[in-house]
Structure 1
Amino acid sequence: MGASAPAAEGQVLRRHLGVFDAVVIGLGSMIGAGIFAALAPAAAAAGSGLLVGLALAGVVAYCNATSSARLAARYPASGGTYVYGRERLGAFWGYLAGWGFVVGKTASCAAMALTVGSYVWPAQAHAVAVAAVVALTAVNYVGVRKAAWLTRVIVAVVLAVLAAVVTACCTASAADAGRWAIGADTGWRGVLQAAGLLFFAFAGYARIATLGEEVRDPRRTIPRAIPLALGITLVVYAVVALAVLAVLGPGRLAHTTAPLADAVRAAGVPGLVPVVRVGAALAALGSLLALILGVSRTTLAMARDRHLPPALAAVHPRFEVPHRAELAVGAVVVVLAATADVRGAIGFSSFGVLAYYAVANAAAFTLTAAEGRPPRFVPVLGAAGCAVLAFSLPGASVLWGAVVLALGVAAYGLRKALARA
């Protein structure tokens, strides 16, 4: 089904990563995005239904992760669902998944870079964001092992900061477990919208799948790493959300731009605020590092099949990375980081990535029992969940996401027409 041309000499990546590094890369891309960027807008959408939205996002993410893990074990190549869709459903569906991933996650890169800027130097957020993109593109350029090592350090620091936040909130006299009460004051559409926004944060396990060509023993490593990373992240999200809600409540959480900093201040520990700001910046840097890795690998796979310029398929002879793809992705993100808005980027990214995972679930449904097919309900529930969450997002995100996907489809059709001419 639309098999890819084999990678030419000089286009093959080396397998460096084990289970631990793969899990850490997944954690680095998930924890920063969710805790420091998506929690407040999700509370604004769901109100007292925030925890229900978090649970729904977790269920959809679990289905997507299971489908992705089974497919990644069978197709351990760079590109993730771009490869799975192409091999199981046909060239068009693989292309659509790859296009949705590249444009959606490029927006995520800009959002994470701007999050760094807003915490480090709010008055110069765009300039700091651009500097962060340039620096992390340089780190990725010199090899995936160095990127994995840096992500490991960032994840350790961020988890320590989050532990301090949870401790401060749970021991504060202002904490009130009554603020955990679950209601539906915004209606189910608000809860679903919050789930769609929070899904932006869970989608980091895709980094593990898109690095399939650089993972040792991928048929064993990837199915173990993806659920481990997702499970750890879900526990962290739930604990932090409960702690912050106990101090701020859903109303105050919805109107803050720095929820964890405001939570420790309300808990009576203002001395932790600078620590939280440093942790937020590091978490966003970890997300950005892993995002650039994932987008560049999908770009590499699409360039190999000539859906993107073939020059982007080159692998550096010394550093063994898709260096041209990384530089191209970095250049686009620099432009977006200099001009974009953080919250708008989250919704746009969620729409593109939900489309990507809808294709992943459809591809997983075609697996046979001998190929490691997941239980049938998993891809069905995952695909349905992706569709519901995508169209529950804010109207502007749905509109722009649909427009950009349509442009990608038009480009695909034009390329096919020119090839037949």
Structure 2
Amino acid sequence: MSNSNAGGSETLSSNVGLLGVLALLVGNAIAVPIFVLPGPLAGDAGPAIVVAALLAAIPASFVVLYNALLGSAMPVAGGLYVYISRLVAPFWGFLVPVTIPLVAWASLLITATGFAEYTQIFFDVSPLVLVYGLLAFTLFINVVGLRLVAQVQLVFFVGLLLALLTFIVPGATAVDTANYTPFFPEYGAFALAVVALFYPFLGFGLLIELGEEIDDPKRTIPLVLGLGIGIVAVVYVALIAVLVGVVPYTQLGGEADLALVASVYLPWWGEYVIAAGAIFAVVTTVNTTLLVFSRTLMRASRDGILPESLSHIHPRFDTPHVSVLALGLPPFLLVPIAGEIVGLSTFIGLASLTAYFFCAVGLWNLPREFPEHYANAPFRLRRSRGLLLAVVGGALTTACFWVITLLQQPIVGLVLLGWFVLAYGYYQYRLRKRDPSQLYLTMTSLDAHERVSDGSAGVASGRSHPRRSGRASTRDSPISAETFDAETAATRDDRDSVDPGSGE
């Protein structure tokens, strides 16, 4: 990705081809969690973590299906927030941007912890210094809008894959099958590992969050998702199988265990190669972590359900700096819990799969609510069979995640439930401050979010919801920097004209 788009648009360049998108997706999925999570999880769950990785691919497959169908039928900016609010109900969609900060904070803490653990292999530096340094660096590059150019991103991605292959291929010959016994030392820890290992698969959600910015999304999204999940699943399972096969699981439990295990069967430089791969993963992660999340907050802000300040664009850097600061500053205060890697990963997995369940409900409603969009999807499932199976499967998987979390990590489930209750209160507060009917129309229309194709009619024509129409389309995406600020101002003026007495 370039430093900035031509003209500094809000969106990424949409000139990335199939291979470029696949590299971005796999690079986003094969990220810091796969270097940090296996050690702590294997230390508790034992060799069964291999099966846990396979089981985590099941909900990931549902996510792939939802992403492929919705992302190709309705490529929009705002991803899950737009899909759920338009296809299910505004409040359920509102839970996405209001929960995003917690997910972003947890993700940043995991990334910073992994960076600190693996950097210490090279340098004897205090882990706190490294954690705070990484958080500050991430915040800085996202505020000023620095982006790795595509070629540099590809170099880091190749380096990451080479590091993983260096661990997996020689490691396969060093496996001692006796280390796979006992295979299930702790069933509760095994179940929790399934929830936690769902987190690394969430890189696939990047496609629908940036759906409007992908070239030829109706063809690219389904193809890339299918290839991507196959590549990532094979890498995850192979890596974990080597990890627990080379040394007894009782010797595992640290965040940097991949590097330590590599030193058992590789020459002296082996652990440094693995540590370098983890740092490559950090670089590719900080380049996108706040990018996607801040755009979703900005879209919800433009709808009027979040404070308007979250959609403000920096006059110099052309970035949603207020949203970035809201996501990037709180982790500095949360560093004391950064070591709770399993709990943080479980929270991310549970919150994300819950959102995707509502996404599945939206997919069920898609043929009825937006029939033309669904008809233009490159592939469709029968509503009475395929879609029903997708929704029921997603519901059962989500229910299992909640039961496992409440039994094994009850504080995680209670925090998320408590946050939803607080979110409902804030949602009612926003409704009282604005015109509820106008806000409902805004949050159920695709006008401001949908990609406009090359002048052709059809799925991306900027039409309102056929039953909820009543608001003229005033914005198309992608937009230039010059119109970005004007659009924000126009949105503000439009809202003020609806409810002159409202405030933020």
TM-score, normalised by the number of residues in structure 2 = 0.73
Amino acid at match of 1:233: V
Change (3 A) 1:37 1:409: farther
- Partner of residue 396, structure 1: 411
Equivalent-residue separation in structure 1 for 2:62 and 2:147 (angstroms): 29
- Once the two structures are TM-superposed, the CA of residue 399 in structure 1 deviates from its matched residue by 2.0
- Once the two structures are TM-superposed, the CA of residue 14 in structure 1 deviates from its matched residue by 5.6
- Once the two structures are TM-superposed, the CA of residue 315 in structure 1 deviates from its matched residue by 4.6
Q: Aligned with 1:397: secondary structure?
A: helix
Contact 1:14 1:213 in 2 (8 A): no
Contact 1:391 1:398 in 2 (8 A): no
Equivalent-residue separation in structure 1 for 2:222 and 2:112 (angstroms): 30
Q: Larger helix proportion, structure 1 or 2?
A: 1
Moved more, 377-386 or 239-248: 377-386
Moved more, 299-308 or 42-51: 42-51
Match of 1:412 among 399, 422, 427: 427
- Partner of residue 170, structure 1: 172
Contact 1:41 1:194 in 2 (8 A): no
- Once the two structures are TM-superposed, the CA of residue 112 in structure 1 deviates from its matched residue by 0.6
Q: Aligned with 1:400: secondary structure?
A: helix
Contact 1:64 1:379 in 2 (8 A): no
Match of 1:303 among 292, 301, 304: 301
Contact 1:58 1:202 in 2 (8 A): yes
Moved more, 89-98 or 344-353: 344-353
User: In the alignment, is residue 275 of structure 1 matched against residue 273 of structure 2?
Assistant: yes
Contact 1:95 1:307 in 2 (8 A): yes
Moved more, 235-244 or 34-43: 34-43
Residues 259-307 of structure 1: per-residue CA shift (max 9 Å, x gap): 2112112225343122222222221332333222221121122111122
Residues 217-261 of structure 1: per-residue CA shift (max 9 Å, x gap): 2222222233333222111111111221220243333x2332211
- Partner of residue 112, structure 2: 113
Matches within 5 A, 1:209-220: 209-220=208-219
Change (3 A) 1:227 1:109: farther
Match of 2:375 among 370, 374, 378: 370
Amino acid at match of 2:399: A
Where do 5+ consecutive residues of structure 2 fail to align? 1-7, 368-373, 437-504
Change (3 A) 1:398 1:389: same
Q: Aligned with 1:366: secondary structure?
A: helix
- Partner of residue 128, structure 1: 130
Equivalent-residue separation in structure 1 for 2:336 and 2:362 (angstroms): 37
- Once the two structures are TM-superposed, the CA of residue 178 in structure 1 deviates from its matched residue by 4.4
Which is greater in Rg?
2
Amino acid at match of 2:289: L
- Partner of residue 261, structure 1: 259
Contact 1:25 1:207 in 2 (8 A): no
Contact 1:115 1:342 in 2 (8 A): no
Amino acid at match of 1:396: I
- Partner of residue 360, structure 2: 361
Equivalent-residue separation in structure 2 for 1:227 and 1:367 (angstroms): 21
User: In the alignment, is residue 292 of structure 1 matched against residue 290 of structure 2?
Assistant: yes
Change (3 A) 1:251 1:147: farther
User: In the alignment, is residue 92 of structure 1 matched against residue 100 of structure 2?
Assistant: no
Equivalent-residue separation in structure 1 for 2:217 and 2:322 (angstroms): 25
Change (3 A) 1:168 1:68: same
Equivalent-residue separation in structure 1 for 2:66 and 2:354 (angstroms): 14
Contact 1:106 1:295 in 2 (8 A): no
Contact 1:33 1:200 in 2 (8 A): no
Equivalent-residue separation in structure 2 for 1:20 and 1:140 (angstroms): 25
- Once the two structures are TM-superposed, the CA of residue 83 in structure 1 deviates from its matched residue by 0.8
Q: Aligned with 1:216: secondary structure?
A: coil
- Once the two structures are TM-superposed, the CA of residue 146 in structure 1 deviates from its matched residue by 3.3
Equivalent-residue separation in structure 2 for 1:355 and 1:116 (angstroms): 28
Contact 1:13 1:321 in 2 (8 A): no
User: In the alignment, is residue 387 of structure 1 matched against residue 394 of structure 2?
Assistant: no
Equivalent-residue separation in structure 1 for 2:238 and 2:394 (angstroms): 24
Equivalent-residue separation in structure 1 for 2:334 and 2:315 (angstroms): 30
Equivalent-residue separation in structure 1 for 2:248 and 2:112 (angstroms): 28
Amino acid at match of 1:129: V
- Once the two structures are TM-superposed, the CA of residue 163 in structure 1 deviates from its matched residue by 1.0
- Once the two structures are TM-superposed, the CA of residue 190 in structure 1 deviates from its matched residue by 3.2
Matches within 5 A, 1:145-184: 146=148, 149-172=151-174, 175-180=175-180, 183-184=183-184
Equivalent-residue separation in structure 2 for 1:161 and 1:48 (angstroms): 22
Contact 2:206 2:292 in 1 (8 A): yes
- Once the two structures are TM-superposed, the CA of residue 44 in structure 1 deviates from its matched residue by 3.8
Where do 5+ consecutive residues of structure 1 fail to align? 1-9
Amino acid at match of 1:77: V
- Partner of residue 3, structure 1: none
Q: Aligned with 1:297: secondary structure?
A: helix
Moved more, 212-221 or 234-243: 212-221
Equivalent-residue separation in structure 2 for 1:370 and 1:18 (angstroms): 24
- Once the two structures are TM-superposed, the CA of residue 371 in structure 1 deviates from its matched residue by 5.8
Residues 328-381 of structure 1: per-residue CA shift (max 9 Å, x gap): 322334443476334132222222212222222221222326364442222321
Change (3 A) 1:319 1:23: farther
Amino acid at match of 2:224: A
* Percent of aligned pairs sharing the same letter: 26
Indicate the structure whose relative CO is greater, using CA pairs within 8 Å and at least 6 residues apart: 1
Change (3 A) 1:260 1:156: same
- Once the two structures are TM-superposed, the CA of residue 386 in structure 1 deviates from its matched residue by 2.4
Change (3 A) 1:200 1:242: same
Equivalent-residue separation in structure 2 for 1:397 and 1:148 (angstroms): 37
Q: CA RMSD in A?
A: 2.8
The alignment of Structure 1 onto Structure 2 pairs a total of residues equal to 408
Q: Aligned with 1:146: secondary structure?
A: coil
Matches within 5 A, 1:168-207: 168-172=170-174, 175-180=175-180, 183-187=183-187, 189-207=188-206
Change (3 A) 1:99 1:227: farther
Equivalent-residue separation in structure 2 for 1:269 and 1:305 (angstroms): 56
- Once the two structures are TM-superposed, the CA of residue 57 in structure 1 deviates from its matched residue by 0.4
- Once the two structures are TM-superposed, the CA of residue 192 in structure 1 deviates from its matched residue by 2.2
Match of 1:332 among 326, 330, 333: 330
